[in-house]
Amino acid sequence: MRTLLFLLQKEFKQIFRDPGILRVIFMMPAMQLIVLPMAADYEVKNIKLAVVDHNRSTYTQTLINKITASGYFQLDQYTASYKEALHEMESDNADIILEIPLGFEKDFVKEQQAEVLIAVNAINGVKAGLGAAYLQSIITDYNQELRVKFVQLPRVNHTPAINVTYSNWFNPLMNYKFFMVPGILVILLTMVGSFLASLNIVKEKESGTIEQINVTPIKKYHFILGKLIPFWVLGLVILTIGLSIARIAYGIIPAGSLFTIYIFAAVYLLAVLGLGLLLSTYCATQQQAMLISFFMMMIFVLMSGLYTPIDSMPEWAQWITRFNPVSYFIEVMRMVVLKGSSLADISRHILIVLGFAVALNTWAVLSYRKRA
Amino acid sequence: MKQFLSFVRKEFYHIWRDKRTMFILLAMPVIQIIIFGFALTNEVKNARIAIFDQSHDAATAGLLTEISASKYFDIQANLHRQQDIDAIFKSGQAKMVIVLPANFQSDLQHLNQVNVQLIADASDPNTATTLINYASAVIRDYNQRLLQDQQIPYIINTQVRMLYNPQLKGAYSFVPGVMAMVLMLVCTMMTAITIVREKEMGTMEVMLVSPVQPLKIVTAKAVPYLLLSVVNIISILLLSVFVLDVPIKGNIVLLMGESILFTITCLSFGLFISAVTDSQQTAMFISLTGMFLPTVMLSGFMFPVENMPLPLQVISHAVPARWFYQVVRSVMIKGLDITGVWKETLILLGMTVFLLLLAIRKFKIRLA
């Protein structure tokens, strides 16, 4: 026990001696938590619209007014030809082109049928799909209005109608930040945990000091605990800072209990640190360790459900996410912070992550011994 | 020149010797393109939903068949009490609940009017909006079918044309993004770390006392990564064409040229980082915070730049990946030629020169 205390003292001293790393540990998460959520907004709005109106009648004018009044579109271009509009799209000055043919008004009144063309920049499929859908629904509404003018509809509605009403729970204002901030906090915790721990040990290897420790009577588990505990504590401190920032900067107050979050985080950090430890036993240089943890981190982050929904991934990819500790923590954070889920609701997640923690740490300790 | 080349050769040996690193550097883009090309999509499908059907009649059964037939929804549970809605959201088993009122069919037949309520878990606002849109559309279709035989006059038909990506595949926007990420990782981080490593180990001092110019020593370290990146660019392009079916519409020479330009920008950034840091750990964290996260967040590849608050839009102009991403989209997917991307090219070129000058300046200070 005394040995462990001395080791811990040494580790903490080492961490706090390097001001650069310290700044990184505390400033980086704080900065990112403040800045990044502002960038993360998927909501489809401000769609740049280019109109090619060959008809130029009061009809088309009303339609265009309706479109701009909807709030989704900003009318950026009025071009004389489709070709010109296409050119604007190529240079990203337009997302959607609406082309109204010359005979629009005449066709509508005489033939009772008219046509408009919508051309969408579909490189970003989601934006394209939603943008086209918004535009079409505005046109449909407008069509309805015109029809009422031409056709005298019966007073009593004889057609059966299913009305749809909807409500958004847990985040009624649809604030995207409420969704992103807890997730970003998880990423920061993971980075600090796994990266710093693995680098720290590899650094000792690279500079040869690990040999010195190996020849002292310090037990292996002392050494490993001595490496784990400081970063575990640091992780919890960062979590606390992160939660405070979420509260102060974004007004996010967890709907569930803080206790639940900390319990999960405590287990989670063990798993992540175990991963860092494992990496460090297999790597000889810091460069290798960084590259590998970076590589894994990239996959972990991008396949965590932070940016894209896991449900939409193909089956094999969903299997990968089951072995991704990050995805569990992100889900838990969102559940507890936004929906107020309880310890019982996330018990499955805790058990799985505990399993990761045990497996990774055991593996790490075993392979560490072999090398000593 | 000969000196320089032998230094380059030395660096090559260094990389070549470390097989594990080599393997990761070359395999990474391949794995990432495959995983992200197939797995990352903002599209919502197979969303887990629950049904609270208080009616259980023929009309609701018809509607539910319609809903379960759609690829967007995956019905997970049938609820029986109002309280179950809250519980199923809290346990995370459903993203939306469709509430069908009692007497659905009879209301529809006799009152010609019935209400369906959609309750979405808006903790994920994007998915919530999309699900509500999809569900409304499915219900509208079902409704339409009920009044099929009525002819409606005065119709405005809309013809929709999806340009560049008619199947709305996610890979079209992810391939350029992954290219930017991989190139940056290999070039910026690896270059920065290799040089700082020499400093940390003290071997830099040894080299600096040799008669070779310090600038040459440092450039020699960057060259192998430039070549590695070219290999990576080629493998990414091959994969995207043959595995992901994302075609190269523009001129391939132009695309390669632009990629190499971006590679050099990243190398310069790596050189700059190595000039201002002394430890590998700090170098790594700067590359990480200076490159990886801004690239993912601010380049426009994940989130639309025009949605960001103004200060961030301004910052995003300083992220090289933003311009590269634009170039790859324009050349590879839209098929534009140099006249369509000259502005971005000039910006990247400017950034490169600026970073290089900055790095050289810092190195000189260290030598004094």
pLDDT digits (tens, 9 = 90+) for B203-236: 777 777 777 777 777 788 888 888 888 998 899 8
- B164: closest CA of chain A, how far (Å): 6
Asked whether the beta carbons of residue B161 and residue A119 sit closer than 8 angstroms, the reply is yes
**What count of other Cβ atoms lies within 10 Å of the Cβ of residue A27?**
11
Nearest CA distance, B79 vs chain A (angstrom):
17
Sign of torsion, CA A235 A240 A242 A243?
positive
Q: A-chain residues within 8 Å CB-CB of B103? A: none
Interface of B with A in 205-244 (CB under 8 A): none
Inter-chain residue contact A121 with B163, CB threshold 8 Å: yes
Structure tokens at B339: 């006249």
pLDDT over threshold 50, residue A372: no
* pLDDT tens track for A145-176: 887 777 665 555 556 677 777 888 887 777 77
Q: Where are the alpha helices (DSSP H) in A70-219?
A: 82-90, 104-106, 125-150, 176-190, 197-206, 209-215
Instruction: Report angle CA B326, A313, B121 to the nearest 5 degrees.
Output: 95
Q: Say yes or no for a CB contact (<8 Å) between B163 and A139.
A: no
Quick one: which of A243, A232, A270 has its CA closest to A362? A270
> How many other CB atoms are found less than 10 A from the CB of residue A315?
7
pLDDT tens digits, residue range A345-359? 888 999 999 999 999
Instruction: Please answer yes or no on whether A39 and B298 come within 8 Å at the CB atom.
Output: yes
- Using pLDDT thresholds of 50, 70 and 90, give the confidence band for residue A42: low
> Residue B150 has what pLDDT?
59
Question: What's the order of all strands across the beta sheet hosting B96-100?
Answer: A161-169, B113-121, B96-100, B47-53, B73-78
**H-run or E-run covering A14:** helix A2-17
Whether chain A has a CB inside 8 Å of the CB on B25: the answer is yes
* Nearest residue to B228 via CA among B258, B198, B190: B190
Inter-chain touch B91–A341, beta carbons under 8 Å: yes
Determine whether B344 is exposed, middle or buried from the number of CB atoms within 10 Å of its CB (0-12, 13-18, 19+): buried
Q: Which residues of A touch B193 (CB under 8 A)?
A: 286-287, 290
Q: Could you state, in chain order, the average pLDDT of each consecutive group of 10 residues for chain B (368 residues)?
A: 81 80 82 79 80 88 88 88 87 88 85 86 82 84 71 72 78 81 81 82 74 76 87 90 86 92 91 84 78 76 77 86 89 86 92 89 60
Higher-confidence residue of A8 and A262: namely A262
The two beta strands, A113-121 and B155-163, are: parallel
Q: Write down the ipTM of this complex.
A: 0.73
* CB < 8 Å & 24+ apart, contacts of B339-346: B340/A90, B340/A91, B341/B258, B345/B258, B345/B261
Mean pLDDT score of chain A: 83
Calculate mean pLDDT across residues A246-263.
Answer: 89
On whether any CB of chain B is under 8 Å from the CB of A102, the answer is: no
Coil, helix or strand at residue B116: strand
CB contact under 8 A, A312 and B38: no
pLDDT tens digit string along B328-368? 988 988 888 888 888 899 999 999 999 988 888 877 555 43
Q: Token match 């493998």: residue?
A: B235
Identify which of B231, B315, B198, B262 has the alpha carbon closest to the alpha carbon of residue A31.
Answer: B315
Q: Does B14 touch chain A (CB under 8 A)?
A: no
Distance of CA A348 to the CA centre of its chain: 22
Measure the CA–CA gap between A108 and A110, rounded to whole angstroms. Answer: 6
Residue burial B103-130, b: 16+ Cβ < 10 Å; e: rest: ebbebbeeeeebebebbbbbbbbbbbbb
Cβ atoms within 10 A of the Cβ of B160, count?
A: 17
What does the alpha-carbon distance between residue A287 and residue A32 come to, in Å, rounded to a whole number? Answer: 24
Judge contact between A190 and A329, C-beta under 8 A.
yes
Q: CB A40 to CB B128 under 8 A? A: no
* 8 Å CB contact of B163 and A119: yes
Rounded to the nearest angstrom, the minimum Cα separation between B103 and chain A is: 13
Say what the pLDDT of residue A180 is.
84
Quick one: what percent of chain A has pLDDT higher than 90? 14
Contact of B197 with chain A, judged by CB distance below 8 Å, is answered with yes
Question: Is B352 at the interface with chain A, CB within 8 A?
Answer: no
What pTM, to 2 d.p., does this model score?
A: 0.77
